[in-house]
Each structure stands twice: as structure tokens, then as C-alpha cells.
Amino acid sequence: MSEPIESKPRWERRKDARPQELLAAALQQFVERGYAATRLEDVARSAGVSKGTLYLYFENKEELFKAVVRENIVSSIGEAEQAVAAFEGPSAGLLRAILMQWWEQVGSTRLAGMTKLMMAEANNFPDLARFYNEEVITRAHGLIASVLARGVARGEFRPHDPQALTPILVAPVIMLMMWTHSFVPCDPKVDDPHAFMNDFIDQTLRGLLPPGSVVP
């Protein structure tokens, strides 16, 4: 009588899992557990592979975290940079488009949890904080500042310091992310984040546009 065939562990059936599957599983673990509490074996299990398979693609948890950020957030910034370079219309419309695109691709999605993670754990992981500042914050701020500077140079925005104004524009968006993804159960003040973004951008443009201009 032949021996019964034992069912194989899930990961043995999926050793060819693509790096994208590992990155998706890692994103979920980082957002739900935070950086410190995320274990590589849990990421591998969630992706349906062995921990050894994960090490074929990523040397350690720090490199996995960086890959998640680059694959999702940094890539979105790159797309926005290309859009800005190719845009030929008014700067007011460009600023609205860039801010709304950021909200739709990052702020309103699971990726917002990465911002929350960095705010909570940056002091404990200074190397990751430097990485995030260099590849996400500095680059994203530079993108917005370039749009503001474009508007000033074209006479479409009132004269101002784009570098000084950029953090002021970013802060309400970050707060909306925190409200939407963290505070709503305790303080449900934002019923419609999309309407919040539109109102915020309208008010911003009223301050930027020359007197008598119509907000697009």
C-alpha cells in the first residue's frame, strides 16, 4: 500500500512568487503592525513563500521597507514630475491636479499608513528617517515648490517664497491623511475627504492668484 501524500506547505507551491507579491505583503504588514513589529517570516507567509525565498530578493527588513516605499510612493512622485514637465496649461490647474493626484494615489489609500508609520517610528530608526526624507519628503516638496515657482515666473501667482509656502500646503494634506486613516473612529469630522481637498485647494488658489482672478 502506498504512503499517503502529505499536503505541502503553501510556500512550497509558490516558490516562483514575484517580488511584487512580496512588496504587497510587506506593505500590508508595515501598515498594520508598524516597522518594529513587522517580522520577515510574517511577510513571507502572507506572500505564500518561505522566508528563504524572501531573502533571494531582499537582504533584510530595512531593504524591504525601502523597496516598498520606492515601488509605491517614490514611483508616484516620479510620475508627477513627468506630468509637471509636460504640462503646458495654467499653473493653478497644475497645482490642483498634482495635489489631487497625490491624494488619490497615496493619501486615500493604504499607502497613507506609511506616512503614519514614519511619524510614529522615525525617532527610533534614524537611518530610515533619513532615507524617507531624502527620497520622499525632499523630492515631493521640491515638486510642489517647482509648481509654485512656475506660477510666480509666469505671473499667474502672487510673488512669494515657494520653499516657505510648500510645507504650509503639505501640512493640511498630512492631517487629512491622519484624520481619515486614524482619527475617524474617535473624531469623525471629515465626512468627505475629496470635498475637503477641493475646498482646501480652492482657498489656497484664492490666496495665490492675483486680485480679480477666477479660481479654476
Residue range 69-126, pLDDT digits in tens: 999 999 999 999 999 999 999 999 999 999 999 999 999 899 999 998 999 999 999 9
Structural contact between residues 84 and 146, judged by C-beta atoms closer than 8 angstroms = yes
- Render pLDDT for 136-165 as a digit per residue (tens, 0 to 9): 999 999 999 999 999 999 999 999 999 999
Clarify whether residues 81 and 177 are in a common domain: yes
DSSP H or E stretch at residue 205: helix 193-208
- Model pLDDT, residue 118: 93
Residues 11 and 72 in one domain: no
- Let me know if residue 214 belongs to a domain: no
213 domain residue, yes or no: no
Nearest to 58 by CA among 97, 94, 89, 29: 29
The last residue of one of the domains, among 58, 74, 98, is 58
Residue pair 115/174 in contact (Cβ under 8 Å)? The answer is yes
One domain, residues 91 and 22: no
Residues 133 and 33 in one domain: no
- Which ranges of 48-186 does DSSP label H, i.e. alpha helix? 51-57, 61-69, 75-86, 91-102, 112-121, 126-132, 138-153, 162-178
Mean pLDDT rounded to a whole number for the chain: 88
Whether residue 86 is found in the same domain as residue 186: yes
- The reply to whether 2 falls in a domain is no
φ and ψ at 36, to 5 degrees? -60, -40
% of the chain with per-residue pLDDT over 70: 88
Position 46 in a domain: yes
Query: Do 192 and 90 sit in the same domain of this protein?
Result: yes
Find the domain containing 185 and state its range. 62-208
34 & 126 share domain: no
Sign of CA dihedral 147, 161, 165, 71: positive
Do 31 and 138 fall within a single domain?
Answer: no
Please say which residue of 24, 41, 58 terminates a domain.
58
Is the pTM higher than 0.95? The answer reads no
**Are 105 and 90 members of one domain?**
yes
How far apart, in whole angstroms, are the C-alpha atoms of residue 111 and residue 76?
A: 11
Instruction: Judge whether 1 lies within some domain.
Output: no
Domain end (from 26, 41, 58)? 58
Do residue 111 and residue 47 come from a single domain?
Answer: no
Mean pLDDT of 2-28: 63
Dist. CA 154–CA 94, nearest whole Å: 13
